Amino acid sequence: MDGELRRAAVEALGALARSADYRDRADAGHALAAFAELPEAHGPLLELVLDPDDTYATRVTAGALLRRGDRLGLTAVASALAVADPNHGDWIQTAVQDVFGVFSDERDDAIRLCGELTQDPDARVARGARELRDLLAGIHPS
């Protein structure tokens, strides 16, 4: 992997995340989720999950982070969920349902990771992980 190119991609996507067009912001969030391991992506991702102008960016970005199926994606969503207003919280919940409403093993893995995240030293992450774990527990895949 070329770290310099990855950082350049995050920088370009960060600029797209500041677009006035909600579709650009949603596209940026979708793409930035692939770079969640880079510290430079954390701020833009959180801003997009909590997009103040359009919850489409919220749903798309949260969904992309959750589809990673890893600690980084769940941490980012949990951090946002902890401070989300009710409207954003509803769209994050919709993304959780979209991603984890099909396969119970994926939901179960996410519940396990959220359980670990409830012990995170960052109180915001721990609080959001508890909320996210509760949302996941309420999903019953077919």
pLDDT digits (tens, 9 = 90+) for 46-62: 999 999 999 999 999 99
Q: How many CB atoms lie within 10 A of CB 52?
A: 10
Taking the C-alpha atoms of residue 79 and residue 56, their distance in angstroms, rounded to an integer, is: 18
Residue 3, amino acid: G
pLDDT tens, residue order, the chain (142 aa): 688 999 999 999 999 999 999 999 999 999 999 999 999 999 999 999 999 999 999 999 999 999 999 999 999 999 999 999 999 999 999 999 999 999 999 999 999 999 999 999 999 999 999 999 999 999 998 7
Element of type H or E holding 59: helix 55-67
Taking the C-alpha atoms of residue 16 and residue 24, their distance in angstroms, rounded to an integer, is: 6
Write down the pLDDT at residue 34.
97
Q: What pTM does this model have?
A: 0.96
Domain range annotation of the chain: 3-137
Taking the C-alpha atoms of residue 49 and residue 89, their distance in angstroms, rounded to an integer, is: 10
- In the CATH scheme, what is the code of domain 3-137? 1.25.10
> In the block, which residue shows the tokens 């909320």?
131
Radius of gyration of the chain measured on its C-alpha atoms: 14
3-state secondary structure of 42: helix
